[in-house]
Amino acid sequence: MEKMGIARSETAHSAFLANLLKSDNGLGLEESAIMWLLHILIEREDNATAYNSTSPIPTDVKAAVLSQTLKYDIEEITTEKVIDDVAHSYFATQSQYNNKRCDDRLDIYIKLKVNGLSVKYLEIVIENKVLQDENGPKSKNSLRYDCLTQTQRYYTACSYNNLNSAAL
């Protein structure tokens, strides 16, 4: 990436990672990129900043990943997805977004359809950082969404009132 002049480009890194994940065969094999990612999320969830003290990963999903029995189909892997497309029901409840779209963009959005578990979908949001720290609140004077850090905003919006999905 250095030779192409994009070594510090967050957008290029996100596209590269998304393409690696898209090459997954969906069989849930330990060698697949998606399974590696899910293993990492499970191993590191205690250190995650957005989740507070509650794990977003259902117990049966963890067991299926760790036992390598998770079966899934990749529904979507997209870069630069507008968060309102994923979490419109959340933004409809936020007064500062009254009849307006939230234009925050998710660096990488992954939606997996899973079979035989407590949820129908796993939704994974990757906020890619290249030489940058976590973005702080958009505004210190506003309510709810805009006063959270970037990953907290994304997790709050994507996990809102979604009974069929687990947002990771």
Q: What is the value of pTM for the model shown? A: 0.79
How far is CA 67 from each of CA 29, 38, 99, 123, 155, rounded to the nearest angstrom? 10, 12, 45, 20, 26
Nearest Cα residue to 113 out of 75, 85, 87: 75
Q: Which two tokens stand for residue 65?
A: 């990943």
pLDDT for res 4: 57
Q: CA 75 → CA 45, 121, 124, 153, distances in Å?
A: 24, 9, 12, 23
DSSP state, residue 127: -
Residue 33 has pLDDT above 80, yes or no: yes
Report d(CA 87, CA 162) in Å as an integer: 9
Q: Do residues 143 and 72 lie in contact, with contact meaning Cβ atoms separated by under 8 Å?
A: no
Which region holds residue 161: left if phi is over 0, alpha if psi is between -120 and 50, else beta?
left
Confidence of residue 117 (pLDDT cuts 50, 70, 90): very high
For residues 49-61, b (16+ Cβ closer than 10 Å) or e, as one string?
ebbeeebbbeeeb
What average pLDDT does the segment 156-160 reach? 77
Which tens digit of pLDDT belongs to each residue from 48-92? 645 555 677 888 999 999 998 998 888 999 998 888 888 888 777
Question: CA 44 to CA 38: how far, in whole Å?
Answer: 10
* Choice between 165 and 74, residue whose per-residue pLDDT is larger: 74
